[in-house]
């Protein structure tokens, strides 16, 4: 992205993110200090720290910039409706005396009886919960004819291919490769979003 820095003379100069923190020369002869990248981003109305795909999607939905597109990514026909796909990005999971340590406890218990199990269970530290529950509903512009087929679609590969037609959704799926996706079946077609 290109940002802008204005000289005291009034001339605006386009600068790239790579020029943050450097000094450039204006046509009037003055030296101009290019602000840090976080300040450049802030002056352009962006988050000072680059957001991940999940945060960017949430902001785009909040600002009414999603869903977008006039062509259905599934049928290739004109899109007049919006369908919601629920993406389950990640879940918390236990790290510690679950998984592998339990197998060690069983093996030692079989080999050395009660005392082997006791020793193995003492060596396996406390359980730690890792990750968080992360789910997001993604709106996608579709053709009315595609809705019944999309609602029945269960192949993760095919559903993700539909979502990946929207670049920011493709980025989300790259950031969460183990995500699972399911179509949300509303009682009636969702028409509350407008294409942008």
Order of strands, edge to edge, in the sheet holding 180-184?
A: 134-142, 81-90, 180-184
Q: Does residue 97 carry a pLDDT above 60?
A: no
Domain region containing 116 = 95-128
**Are residues 17 and 73 located together in one domain of the fold?**
no
Domain end, chosen from 128, 145, 173, is at 128
Is 194 within a domain?
A: no
Q: Are 88 and 139 within one domain?
A: yes
Q: Which residue has the higher pLDDT, 99 or 83?
A: 83
In the chain, the number of structural domains is 3
Same domain for 108 and 16: no
Would residue 192 count as lying in a domain? Answer: no
Residue 21 confidence (pLDDT) above 50? yes
Among residues 58, 128, 132, the alpha carbon closest in space to that of 90 is found at: 132
- What's residue 41's pLDDT? 83
pLDDT for residue 118: 57
Q: What is the DSSP letter of 17?
A: G
Q: Are residues 84 and 154 in the same domain?
A: yes
Q: Are residues 20 and 74 in the same domain?
A: no
Residue 196 lies in a domain: no
Are both 87 and 139 inside the same structural domain? yes
Structure confidence by residue, pLDDT tens digits, 28-62: 999 999 998 888 888 888 777 777 899 889 988 98
For the segment 10-34, the average pLDDT, to the nearest whole number, is: 93
User: What's the pLDDT score for residue 45?
Assistant: 80
DSSP state of 52: P
For residue 193, what pLDDT is reported?
A: 47
pLDDT digits (tens, 9 = 90+) for 131-187: 688 999 999 999 999 999 999 999 999 999 999 999 999 999 999 999 999 999 876
Q: Flag whether 191 is in a domain.
A: no
Same domain, 70 and 109: no
Report the predicted TM-score, pTM, of the whole model to 2 decimal places. 0.59
Tell me, yes or no, whether 193 lies in a domain: no
167 and 142, same structural domain? Answer: yes
Are residues 140 and 88 both part of a single domain? yes
Are residue 102 and residue 23 in the same domain, yes or no? no
Q: How confident is the model at residue 122 (pLDDT cuts 50, 70, 90)?
A: low
Mean pLDDT of the chain: 83
């Amino acid at each position: 992205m290109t940002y802008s820095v204005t000289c005291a003379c009034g001339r605006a100069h386009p600068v790239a993110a790579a020029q943050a923190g450097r000094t450039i020369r204006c046509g009037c002869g003055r030296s101009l200090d290019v602000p840090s990248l976080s300040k450049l981003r802030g002056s352009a109305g962006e988050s000072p720290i680059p957001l991940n795909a999940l945060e960017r999607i949430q902001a785009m939905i909040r600002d009414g910039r999603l869903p977008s597109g006039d062509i259905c990514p599934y049928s290739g026909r004109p899109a007049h409706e919006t369908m919601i796909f629920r993406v389950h990005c990640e879940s918390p999971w236990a790290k510690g005396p679950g998984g592998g340590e339990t197998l060690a406890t069983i093996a030692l218990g079989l080999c050395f009886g009660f005392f082997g199990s006791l020793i193995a269970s003492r060596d396996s530290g406390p359980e730690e919960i890792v990750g968080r529950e992360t789910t997001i509903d993604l709106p996608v512009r579709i053709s009315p004819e595609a809705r019944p087929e999309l609602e029945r679609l269960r192949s993760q590969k095919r559903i993700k291919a539909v979502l990946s037609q929207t670049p920011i959704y493709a980025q989300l799926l790259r950031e969460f490769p183990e995500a699972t996706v399911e179509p949300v079946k509303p009682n009636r077609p969702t028409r509350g979003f407008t294409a942008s």
